[in-house]
Chain A
């Protein structure tokens, strides 16, 4: 059996508590507070103590899906990515860059937010970029 803890940051609110994810044989089995973290100093709230519980929840998406009529059907990455690129570029061509937009995410990392806004600003050519900070 291989057990390790991985130092990371809680994913719930903006406080940014330091947590340790407990990993046993490649599976996350628990969340512990970091004792030496300057914000939470060894404490966590009820959401934090259970931050790992949603990771393996039923309904986690594991394959790209493409709509065929009323249904979303499994597809390959290549197919899904090509389709996304093709449709966005077609719409840009037909209606102009400001006919497209994105909702980025306050749940996602800085790097992911940077990349999505870069796609819309630099590749599509619109500033229709927002997220739910207001909500």
Chain B
């Protein structure tokens, strides 16, 4: 969440989930909310019932789009252009919040110069969004008393992902739609503890609580607490580590509860790296495609078999509680990690319970400092919570931004890395289904969920299917410059013409064999999963 951190000084959702109910306008983009976050979608429905205007900007007619007051399908990867276009109209009409801009932000003059050029006509040409609709959206968003922006991976999984997020932050600051209840810029986190794992510094440039590994002062604090010298150098990201294996620089890897064989872009490349690495340890509950490559597999425990905390998408600390013992000889994951630390000869892993681990991390993490197991037994606490008397922070940036002044960034539109051409004339985007989860490790063994859907498909517009000569239910070969899979066709007028969609849960037809891993956002290093060029070929015309 580098974009939000740059603009506001904090990379998390600015407001809490229950606040959506009281918004007057909710602008949703790059989030299939009803599918991926159903209980947040339910809050948004309540807001609509209470009179809020719902605006969806998405290349697919998602369930949420069907229920929205306005839905427009933008061209893939054109987000910076439509956001600049909204700001152009807002400024021209005088719907911006000048006192908020003057008192709370910096960088406005530079922004103004860039958005000057994003006339409705130019924006319609780049994005495919009619200029009248763009004006309508600008008016509703800017003039509503409380407008909230909701986004997800459809915004971030682009080479311009950081630019997209900064643009949404620009829009919120321009109109003063932030720092109050039911407003803000709200990235919905896809996994139960994405927020917490980032808070706990499962990232290469920070210590827990977003403290820089490059700061001497911070490093000294952690060296003292952990009892030894620490590296002052920023480490490698997931994708960079995979590349470092190929270059012979990374020799040993420990993978905890992840399945990069399916979830990483360009899985062929990942498979080769995991075959080549000298030593691979995987700690998981299933023998995943990734675990099959390991030298050592350590059996961990599911959420029902251990205690601990998750931090929800809105920075809310919650407990998980042990209901049963780990299966067979498996162990609780926190205990396995303590045993590994001790086996390496370290004295810093002598914990009797997850609660003791939490006490150590809270001591070192200012935004968690006031939180402990006793408090969250009875209280809902959103970080930052700096001491025992601090009730926590359901929404951020009330009187000032975490970084001081909010920073506008002037951003020009850049097209996606891979555009359609004669050889690969269609565009592909990927996403989730309501019934499945990520790589399917958990959901595809669940009878009630596989009963709903248990195979991959490609959504195509009926007109595209007609020109390809394929019918609904027919199997086709889908290829990109990186790989090829076979999937069934599912026709829907809800998708933008020229664009196809494949859910990424299915190992036997993994959408990430096609996606463009080489194209990374230069700052967040997120691969461009949401746009690549493909060709679709008829097989023998049989019904699958």
Q: Which residue of A lies closest to B450 (CB)?
A: A53
> Do the beta carbons of A11 and B190 come within 8 Å of each other?
no
> Do the beta carbons of B189 and A103 come within 8 Å of each other?
no
Q: Which of B59-67, B99-107, B228-236, B399-407 contacts A (4 or more CB under 8 A)?
A: B228-236
> Do the beta carbons of B238 and A132 come within 8 Å of each other?
yes
> Do the beta carbons of A99 and B252 come within 8 Å of each other?
yes
- CB within 8 Å for A114 and B208 given contacts A61-B330, A81-B339, A128-B241: yes
Q: What number of A-B contacts does a CB cutoff of 8 Å give?
A: 431
C-alpha spacing A105/B192, complex, angstroms: 10
> Do the beta carbons of B329 and A84 come within 8 Å of each other?
no
Residues of B within 8 A of A108 (CB): 193, 197, 256-257, 308, 333
Q: Which residue of B lies closest to A44 (CB)?
A: B39
Residues of B within 8 A of A9 (CB): 192, 303, 310, 312, 318-320
Q: Which residue of A lies closest to B360 (CB)?
A: A114
Residues of B within 8 A of A129 (CB): 201-204, 235
Minimum CB–CB distance from A105 to chain B (whole Å) comes to 4
Interface residue ranges of A87-112 to B (CB < 8 Å): 87-89, 91, 94-95, 97-112
Q: Which residue of A lies closest to B299 (CB)?
A: A61
Q: Which of B48-56, B519-527, B536-544 contacts A (4 or more CB under 8 A)?
A: B519-527
Minimum CB–CB distance from A11 to chain B (whole Å) comes to 4
- State which of B254, B309, B318, B331 has its C-beta within 8 Å of the C-beta of A77: B331
> Do the beta carbons of A84 and B231 come within 8 Å of each other?
no
- State which of B17, B257, B295, B337 has its C-beta within 8 Å of the C-beta of A67: B295
Say yes or no: is B36 at the interface (Cβ < 8 Å to chain A): yes
Which 7 residue pairs are nearest across A and B when measured between Cβ atoms? Answer: A62-B328, A109-B308, A16-B312, A14-B189, A127-B235, A57-B445, A105-B257
A-B contact pairs, 27 of them (CB 8 A): A6-B304, A15-B38, A16-B314, A17-B39, A26-B324, A46-B435, A50-B448, A56-B327, A57-B446, A84-B298, A101-B241, A104-B200, A106-B197, A107-B258, A108-B257, A110-B310, A111-B334, A112-B333, A114-B357, A115-B349, A118-B349, A119-B337, A125-B230, A127-B235, A129-B202, A129-B203, A132-B264
Q: Which residues of A contact B (CB under 8 A)?
A: 6-18, 21, 23, 26-28, 38-40, 43-67, 72, 77, 80-85, 87-89, 91, 94-95, 97-135
Q: Which residues of B contact A (CB under 8 A)?
A: 17-18, 36-40, 42, 156, 188-205, 207-208, 213, 222, 226-231, 233-239, 241, 244, 249-258, 260, 263-265, 278-279, 281, 284-287, 291-292, 294-300, 302-306, 308-314, 316, 318-325, 327-331, 333-334, 337-341, 343-346, 348-349, 354, 357-358, 360-361, 380, 434-435, 437, 441-443, 445-449, 452, 524-527, 529
